[in-house]
Amino acid sequence: MEKKYFLSSPSYGMIESHKSKRFNDMKLFTGKSYLFTKLTKVKVWFGTPSERSDKDKGKVVLGIEAEYKLLKDKSNRNVGEVKSSDIVVKEIKIKDSSDFFTKLLLCVEDVITYIKFVTKKGNVLELGNFEQSISKEISLNNDNDLSIIQTLHGYYDNSGLRALGARYIQAKRFYFINNMEILGIRYRIKRYKKFKEKWENEENIKKLNISMQAIIKLAFLPDNTFAMVFKFLME
């Protein structure tokens, strides 16, 4: 698999290395498993920070929590101190497996004051006041070539979310790679007795999320039925 297809934006914003904490959610995944994940849920804290930034912007994005899809969902929270009484918390979660996050819009000087996530199907999370002069759009797309946001990275401290960026891949390539993983699972089921016996056990299947349960069951279908379903997935 060619890593060149998995791209990464910069972390847009202010990076103060002497006190800001860096995060890179790609590191949640072992080996190459990050290649098969995508962002499925975002939770954002917005309000007055416990420490004022150098340029007082009032309410800011205090932190972010992202959740990712894989064999088992993974999440990571990156938030400084949350003390004030005016905190607003919003979240957005992908509910349709064909939907995905494809655009990220920020307003940022020394701290992020506005944030907006948009999915392919037009679902939106938005907090803060948009200012064109300090805005940065991480859209990653053109009309005929959407990309999927896979993981987030950036910096934060008690003044708020200082910087944010995204790792992404073309949607059509992502789905191709993930469908190839289905073939790998089917191959192992046909080739390796212990692997097959493990996933013939319903108790093991129940430990997986719904999507992976469906993939395992798909891999056990008879050849003709499997071929028809797989062809449909690739269209």
pLDDT digits (tens, 9 = 90+) for 160-208: 999 999 999 988 888 777 777 788 888 899 999 999 999 999 999 988 8
Please write the tens of the pLDDT for every residue from 77-109.
878 777 778 899 999 999 887 899 999 999 998
User: What residue type is assigned to position 143 of the chain?
Assistant: D
Q: Which two tokens stand for residue 104?
A: 């990220």
Does this model's pTM top 0.85? My answer is no
- pLDDT > 70 in the chain, percent: 89
**pLDDT by residue (tens digit) across 105-153?**
999 988 999 999 999 999 999 999 999 998 988 877 766 688 999 999 9
DSSP state at residue 5: G
Say if residue 233's pLDDT is above 70.
no
pLDDT at 71 over 50: no
Write out the DSSP string of 27-87. Answer: GGS-TTGGGG-EEEEEEEEEE--SS--SS--SSEEEEEEEEEESSS-EEEEEE-----TT-
Q: How far apart, in whole angstroms, are the C-alpha atoms of residue 116 and residue 112?
A: 11
Residue 63, pLDDT score: 93
CB 216, CB 222: distance < 8 Å: no
Q: In what order do the strands lie in the sheet with 60-69?
A: 74-79, 60-69, 38-47, 88-93
Calculate the alpha carbon distances from 218 to 82, 227, 228 in Å: 45, 10, 11
pLDDT attached to residue 83:
78
CATH of domain 3-171: 2.100.10.30
- The pLDDT value recorded for residue 29 is 82
Dihedral in degrees, nearest 10, Cα atoms 32, 13, 135, 143: -20
Q: What is the pLDDT of residue 137?
A: 86
Q: What is the pLDDT of residue 20?
A: 86
pLDDT of residue 113: 94
- What pLDDT shows up at residue 56? 62
pLDDT score for 17:
61
Q: In the chain, where are the structural domains located? A: 3-171, 173-234
- Dihedral of alpha carbons 163, 98, 222, 203, sign: positive
Instruction: Please check whether residue 112 is in contact with residue 60, taking contact to mean a CB–CB distance below 8 angstroms.
Output: yes
pLDDT at 215 over 60: yes
Cα distance between residue 212 and residue 56, in whole Å: 46
16 vs 183 pLDDT, higher one: 183
Q: Which long-range contacts (CB under 8 A, 24 or more apart) does 22-27 make?
A: 22/153, 22/154, 22/155, 23/76, 23/78, 23/152, 23/153, 23/154, 23/155, 23/156, 24/151, 24/153, 25/66, 25/68, 25/76, 25/151, 25/152, 25/153, 26/150, 26/151, 26/153, 26/167
Model pLDDT, residue 172: 82
